[in-house]
Every structure is written in structure tokens, then in C-alpha cells.
Amino acid sequence: MMATTAFEQGTGYNVSSDVNLTSLRRVALKSDGSGLSLASDPTGTVNFLDMVNNLQGDSGRGYYIEMSIGTPGQKLNILVDTGSSNFAVAAAAHQFITHYFNTALSSTYSSTGRTVAVRYTQGNWEGELGIDRVSIPRGPNGTITINIAAILSSDGFFLPGINWQGILGLAYPVLARPDSSVEPFFNSVVKQLGIPDIFSLQMCGAGLSASSTTDTTGGSLIMGGAEPTLYRGSVWYTPIIEEWYYQVEVLKLEVGDQNLNLDCREYNMDKAIVDSGTTLLRLPVNVFNALVEAITRSSLIEEFSSGFWEGTKLACWMKGENPWRFFPKLSIYLRATNTSESFRITILPQLYIQPITDVDGTLDCFRFGVSSSTNGMVIGATVMEGFYVVFDRTQQRLGFALSSCAVSDGVALSEIEGPFSAADVAADCSGGPLKEPLVWMISYALMAVCALALLILLLMLILPCRCGNRNGEITDESSLVRHRIK
């Protein structure tokens, strides 16, 4: 659906500091004039204020919400993932989780007799499809009957240090497995509870160490609309160009004030999506290389190790030293609902140069929150933590506003500006013309891999084996990296 304005105000109601929040709880669901639901439902089905701070976690381990599953209810923490469409929970013991959903103890659980398997960018699982009742203690009031994938085995899906036991896929039915007949969780919520087909996310882990042993309040998942107290300023909208993932159209990227000057279709090959279940900002290989080159040119760091950019090394500074002042801002231009215009979302270095751990109390270490991707651009938690993101499925659009929690030491960690003219980019940047040779590229790549494998096998047969004992050896390549300042 095409709108006629470059951006729309996120709310027709300004919530000031002297607003009586108790009164706000009794305000009926209203529209801001553009279809965005605000405030609360007097029937008690939707009360946005009760949903505030209902998430825990951070970008390193994911953001999760507590749910009660089955009869009697079994409470589990469920990862919020806008990049998949299955609702799946552990239904068997696993070394990295503390408890699981015991289907035998639920009087309302029924198996459909169908098996299901899902593979993610990281990890996979297999199990059986079932149906049961679910409620969300800090979500819409009411109990719903939904499709549940009971996870019986997995590989690389549950990880050390996580505190969740399942995944809530919030994308569209076309991604559901084993097929689109499996109605996703949020579709069932909308249908059975009658709430608007809109949800919004605030993820508040910006600047938090992913190695922290405690889970502080991680944000909010608002089902049914948007909560005005969670963002500042206007909501800027970009069209959802295809309803499978939440696919958007990226027009250009900037590092500081440097435009990467790539064909806009490069940014969208083979798709550009917004995915809360992905930790990093993931970029197509050509885009990633151009971005790293631009950061290197503008950074105040010399002799920067390639391992840092590739995600194999951490960068460390003396404790208390501020590394973020050495790095530029990153900006993504999205097409506006008025397709002749765009707007820009910008993240400060605090969001993509991410604290990980300290070493012996003397060093603070950081990772690069951007990585290369072979399956399109993924706007993950690295970027989403700077914004309040509105998934307006009713009007097929995504909204971005400045998050109220994306602030560190009084400094806002994100920016939004616009509108800008989109006349300097193609009318369609969504990657269509570049997708045709993609199959050929993959074919050539596979042929090259096979040839290389045969060559290695041949060399192994011809050359004698020379082995050395490297037990415990630490070299410059395997240790944490420190960098000098220009």
C-alpha cells in the first residue's frame, strides 16, 4: 500500500510528564489518524502500560518474554524473533536450559502427528507439532489456543548462558514450517483476542556487556499498537515490500558523512529485512567490505587487525578509556511511504562497537557489531536497540522512532532525519535485476569449492604430514588485540 506523505506523526497525543497514567489506562484504543493504535482498551484486552518492560535479555543473548503454556500453566521464557514464524518450545531436557515444557503434564496439549524442523542462521531444531493454550502474564489479557512446535532435539540452537527455552516467531505465515498452513502465534492472537494487527518493540541492551551474568530489564513488546512513552518524536514509516520476512528497501549507507556510493540494489541483494532475532547488523559482502574500508579511512585507529572486522578478535583498551570517540556514525537510508522520498536512521559507535568483557580488571574489550552476509542485509539488534520499531502489519509498513532507552550518559545513541529526495537512486532498489545472475554466481562458487577440495586432497596424498605440538601456545593471532591511537 502506498501512502502519500513522506512520514507520518507517530501519535496524535502528546504524553507529557504530568499525565495521569492511571487515567491513560482507561482510554479506549484510538487511532492517530494513520491507523496506529494507541493507549488502552477499557475491556481489558489491551493495556499497553502493563506490557512496558516485559522483556529481558540483551542483544548478545536475545530478548525474551515470559509465557504460561498448557493446563496448568508452565512458565517459560520465549525469545522474541521477527525473522521467523514458528512458535517453538523445548519439550525435552537440554544441557543449556534449566527447564522445559512437559507436554505430558498439560491436560490441554494435543499432538497433530506432524513433524517439523527449522534451520536458522545459527542452529536448528526438530520436533512435533501440537496445539495448546497459552497466556502472557504481561501481554494482552486472555488465553489463546495456538500451534506449538515441541522441540525434541536441537543442534546449536540453545546456547550456554541463555535464559530462554523457546522462540516466538513473529513474521508472516509464508515462513512457517512445515508449511504456511501453520498459523503463526501473533496471527492467532489478533484473530482470537480481536486486537489490531500491530506490534512494536523496544530493545534496551545498548551498551550493556553481553557477558553480564545478570539479566536487567531488556525492553518492551507491545502487542496491539504502540506505547507513546517508549519513544521520542515522530514515527517514520517505510513500506514492507514483501510479506514473508519484514522486508524493507534500503537506498544507501553512509559512514560518517561518506556515502558508500554503491548501486542501491547491492544493499538489497537478495533482501533487506528487520530481524530482532539477529544480534548484528549483517551486510552483503560487497557492502560490508565497502563499509569496513570507509570506517578504516575515517577511524582514529591505526594498524587495525582484520580479525576485529571479521569477528574473530576483540579490541581492548585500558579500563575506563572511551573507544567510541575514535569511530564514525553509521547511517541507513530507507525509502519512505512517499516513494519519491527517504529518511535516515543513524546509530552512534556505542551501538556497533559493543562491550563484551574485561580482562583482569585492567582492560575493556569490544566486538564489531557488523558482519558480512551471504543471504542479504539483516537489520538486527545492533541497529534496533537505537529505535522503537513499529510493525504495522495492517498498513504493511514499519515505523522507526527514537527509543527512550537508547541513551548513555545523557547522550542519545541514535538519530532520525528526513525527508530526503530519493531522486538520485533507482525507482526500485529491491534487488530484482541483480537476482537473475545469483544462481550462476552460486554455481560458479560451488564449482570453485569442489575444485579447491580436490586440490587439497591431492596435496595431502602427495606431501608428507608435518605436525607440531602447539598445546597452550598463544600467538599474536590468537590473543586479544590492542590498538594504538594516531
pLDDT the model gives residue 4: 26
* Domain co-membership, 205 together with 241: no
Asked if 251 and 112 sit in the same domain, the reply is no
pLDDT exceeds cutoff 60 at 345: yes
254 and 138 in a common domain: no
* Same structural domain, 85 and 177: yes
Tell me how many helices (H) and strands (E) the chain has. 10, 34
- Give DSSP secondary structure letters for 279-312: -SEEEEHHHHHHHHHHHHHH-SEES--HHHHHTS
Q: Are 463 and 457 in contact (CB under 8 A)?
A: no
Q: In this model, does residue 390 exceed pLDDT 60?
A: yes
Residues 119-170 pLDDT 10s:
987 789 999 999 999 999 999 999 999 999 999 999 999 999 899 999 999 9
The per-residue pLDDT for 211 is: 46
pLDDT score of 467 more than 50? no
Segment 388-414 mean pLDDT:
96
46 pLDDT more than 50: yes
CATH code of the domain in which 94 resides = 2.40.70.10
User: Confidence band (pLDDT; 50, 70, 90) for 10?
Assistant: very low
Question: Is 277 part of any domain?
Answer: yes
Based on the domain organization, do 289 and 345 belong to the same domain?
A: yes
Type of residue numbered 36: L
Could you tell me if residue 475 is inside a domain?
no
On the question of pLDDT at 38 being above 70, the answer is no
Give CA–CA dist 41/49, Å, rounded.
11
**Could you tell me if 189 and 325 lie in one domain?**
no
Query: Pick the residue with more confidence: 253 or 442?
Result: 253
Q: CB of 244 within 8 A of CB of 272?
A: no
How far is Cα 380 from Cα 398, in angstroms, rounded to an integer? 14
Residue 128 resides in a domain = yes
Looking at the structure, do residues 162 and 87 belong to the same domain, yes or no? yes
Average pLDDT, the chain: 82
Residue 422 has pLDDT above 60, yes or no: yes
Range of the domain at 347: 230-444
Render pLDDT for 433-461 as a digit per residue (tens, 0 to 9): 444 334 434 554 566 666 676 766 666 55
Q: Are residues 198 and 121 in the same domain?
A: yes
Residue-level pLDDT at 477: 27
Count of domains for the chain = 2
d(CA 238, CA 7): 8
- Determine, yes or no, domain membership for 319: yes
Q: Which of 410, 426, 444 is the last residue of a domain?
A: 444
Is 31 inside a domain boundary?
no
Shared domain for 245 and 374, answered yes or no, is yes
Q: What is the mean pLDDT of residues 70-84?
A: 97
Higher-confidence residue of 450 and 365: namely: 365
Q: Are residues 287 and 421 in the same domain?
A: yes
- The stretch 296-315 carries a mean pLDDT of 84
Give catalytic residue positions: 81, 275
Both 130 and 240 in one domain: the answer is no
Q: Identify whether 178 is preceded by a cis peptide bond (ω within 30 of 0).
A: yes
In a domain, 94, yes or no: yes
pLDDT of residue 364 exceeding 50, the answer is: yes
Q: Judge whether 34 lies within some domain.
A: no
Q: Is the pLDDT of residue 470 over 50?
A: no
In a domain, 32, yes or no: no
Co-location of 209 and 251 in the same domain? no
Are 335 and 428 in contact by the 8 Å Cβ rule? The answer is no
The answer, yes or no, to whether residue 180 has pLDDT greater than 80, is yes
Q: Which of 22-31, 69-78, 144-153, 438-447 has the lowest mean pLDDT?
A: 22-31
| Per-residue model confidence (pLDDT) at position 457 | 65
pTM: 0.81
